[in-house]
């Protein structure tokens, strides 16, 4: 409880300081998303998804969804017309989703939906067309249609950003969610990675943003957890040796030495080898939480990564499956799943301790599901296998990061001799602290903030090397990197527009 209270106070101090936004950038963003939104509407009107009056043609969307999930043949109730006589009036009405006998029908699609076992349905039996259904359909058109990020930016983020052009946007933090992490009411932790939204946040005159981000924190905490529970960790050995974990796995998968793999990353065929590393990174971050091959393919597809493309240069989706290992699944590229399975096998070979770790988690979650977090003693109850596998290392990272936030905030507000004096941590993003700091001393503040964060995390992760990198920026950029001039940390600047 004291640890959570300290973290809550630190979050509150940052919330009171608030964030400002740049009026010119906000209005430029508003104009940009309006243009993209208008073009998107024209495109989907041409496909029949949106009627001329701007309303959705749900029948057209559902039919495409049904086809994507494997529906074929004509509906035996309506003969493929999508309409059947009403029992009351005799006039043609939409067929379904159920007839008067309670039998499932085609829901106006005209297709035999019994052929699509993986087709998601609503509680009333209708064909689902929610965002998850569209995103998981494997149909690029439906995936694009389900991606309403532009509309969300236009309708939600832009009004939110406009508030900050007049007064500071004050946040409402929540110190504890089930995973042990923090959250915020509102949008600040839900900002899209791209699209120019976060870049609208600007430091006040005389200040810059200072971001310090732990490097691969949850892999470090996973290594520490394995050391604590199992007494061994190949992951810890590799981290402490300074190896690039993603290249280690990719080298093993491709059958070359680690040194050769690093050389290939810089060679004439670097793009191919970077693809291998990208696929390995997906496994390193997804597999420890118990993700199977199909879940990995689905999760990474939503992020734009296709295993068959990056590993073989193939055309994704030539052969799709809706069942894997006896379980119904969303439509997936068969080759992507096979490659993900191969990568998981390689990962288990590279990380032999993980089978023992998963067995430990299974024993606990099969009995009661209450897991006591290492170091903090915080208890998370009601865990299933995946929650349990995740919570050991994710919770350790969360507890350590909150302690780091407290130590940074304490120095910012109570030590006039510290380079952090006058600095305000304004956003706490799990393994990253973003602060607004006086520009004149920002080069020292950034380095000191990293030192404090590393020292605080070592109290929770004593046996695995912890790294954290500071960078400075006038606007909030997710891709900002440390920049030094004459040995001095200086603000990073974007060179290709906002």
What does the block give as tokens for 157?
A: 């983020």
pLDDT bracket for residue 95 (50, 70, 90): confident
Report the pLDDT value the prediction gives residue 94, as an integer from 0 to 100.
Answer: 80
Q: What is the mean pLDDT of residues 152-158?
A: 92
Report the pLDDT value the prediction gives residue 103, as an integer from 0 to 100.
Answer: 61
CA nearest 402: which of 172, 173, 175, 174? Answer: 175
pLDDT bracket for residue 101 (50, 70, 90): low
Task: Tell me, rounded to whole angstroms, the distance of Cα 461 from its chain centroid.
Answer: 24
Q: Of 20-24, 160-164, 301-305, 421-425, where does mean pLDDT reach its minimum?
A: 301-305
Report the pLDDT value the prediction gives residue 114, as an integer from 0 to 100.
Answer: 87
Q: Is 135 or 345 the better-scoring residue by pLDDT?
A: 345
CA distance 4 to 101: 56
Q: What is the mean pLDDT of residues 375-389?
A: 95
Report the pLDDT value the prediction gives residue 87, as an integer from 0 to 100.
Answer: 65
pLDDT bracket for residue 496 (50, 70, 90): low
Q: What is the mean pLDDT of residues 346-352?
A: 96
Residue 214's DSSP bridge partners are 468
Q: Is the pLDDT of residue 29 over 90?
A: yes
Q: Of 201-210, 212-221, 309-318, 405-414, where does mean pLDDT reach its minimum?
A: 309-318
pLDDT bracket for residue 30 (50, 70, 90): very high
Q: What is the mean pLDDT of residues 263-270?
A: 94
Q: Is 332 or 98 the better-scoring residue by pLDDT?
A: 332
- Give 394-429 pLDDT, tens digit per residue: 999 999 999 999 999 999 999 999 999 999 999 999
CA distance 475 to 253: 40
Report the pLDDT value the prediction gives residue 96, as an integer from 0 to 100.
Answer: 74
Q: What is the mean pLDDT of residues 361-368?
A: 92
pLDDT bracket for residue 91 (50, 70, 90): confident
pLDDT bracket for residue 271 (50, 70, 90): very high
CA distance 173 to 11: 6
Report the pLDDT value the prediction gives residue 107, as an integer from 0 to 100.
Answer: 87
What does the block give as tokens for 139?
A: 């149909």
Q: What is the mean pLDDT of residues 450-477?
A: 97
| Residue 54 burial by Cβ neighbours in a 10 Å radius (0-12, 13-18, 19+) | exposed
Q: Is the pLDDT of residue 194 over 80?
A: no
Report the pLDDT value the prediction gives residue 99, as an integer from 0 to 100.
Answer: 55
CA nearest 209: which of 482, 434, 15, 18? Answer: 434
Q: Is the pLDDT of residue 241 over 80?
A: yes
Report the pLDDT value the prediction gives residue 84, as an integer from 0 to 100.
Answer: 79
Q: Is the pLDDT of residue 497 over 60?
A: no
Q: What is the mean pLDDT of residues 177-200?
A: 89
Report the pLDDT value the prediction gives residue 108, as an integer from 0 to 100.
Answer: 86
Task: Tell me, rounded to whole angstroms, the distance of Cα 105 from its chain centroid.
Answer: 37
| Residue 45 burial by Cβ neighbours in a 10 Å radius (0-12, 13-18, 19+) | middle
> Strands 468-473 and 488-492, how do they pair?
parallel
What does the block give as tokens for 78?
A: 């309506």
> Strands 83-85 and 488-492, how do they pair?
unpaired
> Mean pLDDT, the chain, as a whole number?
92
């Amino acid at each position: 409880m004291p640890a959570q209270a300290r973290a809550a106070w630190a979050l509150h101090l940052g919330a009171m300081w608030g964030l400002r936004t740049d009026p010119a950038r906000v209005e430029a963003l508003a104009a940009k998303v309006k243009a993209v939104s208008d073009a998107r509407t024209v495109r989907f009107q041409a496909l029949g998804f949106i009627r001329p009056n701007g309303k959705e043609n749900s029948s057209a969307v559902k039919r495409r969804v049904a086809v994507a999930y494997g529906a074929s043949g004509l509906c035996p109730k309506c003969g493929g017309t999508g309409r059947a006589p009403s029992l009351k009036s005799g006039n043609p009405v939409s067929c379904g989703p159920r007839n008067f006998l309670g039998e499932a029908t085609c829901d106006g699609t005209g297709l035999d939906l019994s052929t699509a076992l993986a087709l998601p349905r609503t509680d009333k039996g209708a064909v689902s067309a929610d965002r998850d259904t569209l995103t998981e359909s494997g149909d690029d058109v439906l995936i694009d249609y389900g991606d309403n990020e532009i509309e969300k930016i236009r309708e939600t983020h832009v009004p939110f950003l406009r508030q900050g052009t007049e007064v500071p946007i004050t946040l409402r933090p929540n110190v504890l969610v089930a995973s042990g992490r923090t959250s915020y009411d509102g949008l600040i932790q839900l900002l899209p990675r791209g699209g120019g939204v976060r870049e609208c946040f600007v430091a006040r005159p005389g200040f810059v943003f200072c971001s310090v981000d732990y490097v691969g924190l949850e892999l470090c905490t996973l290594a520490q957890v394995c050391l604590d529970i199992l007494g061994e960790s190949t992951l810890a050995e590799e981290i402490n040796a300074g190896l690039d974990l993603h290249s280690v796995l990719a080298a093993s998968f491709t059958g070359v030495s680690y040194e050769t793999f690093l050389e290939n990353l810089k060679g004439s065929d670097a793009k191919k080898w970077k693809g291998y590393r990208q696929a390995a990174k997906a496994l390193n971050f997804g597999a420890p939480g118990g993700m199977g091959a199909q879940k990995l393919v689905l999760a990474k597809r939503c992020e734009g990564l296709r295993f068959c493309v990056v590993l073989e240069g193939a055309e994704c989706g030539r052969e799709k499956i809706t069942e894997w290992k006896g379980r119904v699944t969303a439509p997936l590229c068969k080759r992507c799943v096979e490659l993900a399975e191969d990568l998981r096998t390689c990962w288990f070979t590279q990380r032999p301790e993980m089978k023992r770790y998963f067995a430990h988690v299974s024993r606990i979650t099969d009995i009661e599901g209450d897991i006591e977090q290492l170091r903090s003693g915080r208890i998370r109850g009601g865990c299933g296998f995946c929650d349990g596998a995740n919570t050991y290392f994710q919770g350790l990272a969360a507890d350590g990061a909150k302690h780091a936030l407290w130590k940074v905030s304490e120095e910012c507000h109570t030590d006039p001799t510290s380079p952090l004096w006058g600095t305000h941590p304004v956003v706490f993003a799990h393994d990253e602290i973003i602060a607004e700091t006086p520009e004149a001393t920002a080069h020292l503040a950034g380095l000191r903030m990293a030192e404090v964060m590393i020292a605080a995390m070592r109290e929770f992760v004593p046996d695995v090397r912890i790294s954290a990198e500071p960078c400075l920026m006038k606007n909030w950029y997710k891709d900002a990197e440390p920049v030094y001039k004459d040995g001095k940390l200086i603000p990073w600047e974007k060179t290709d527009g906002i």
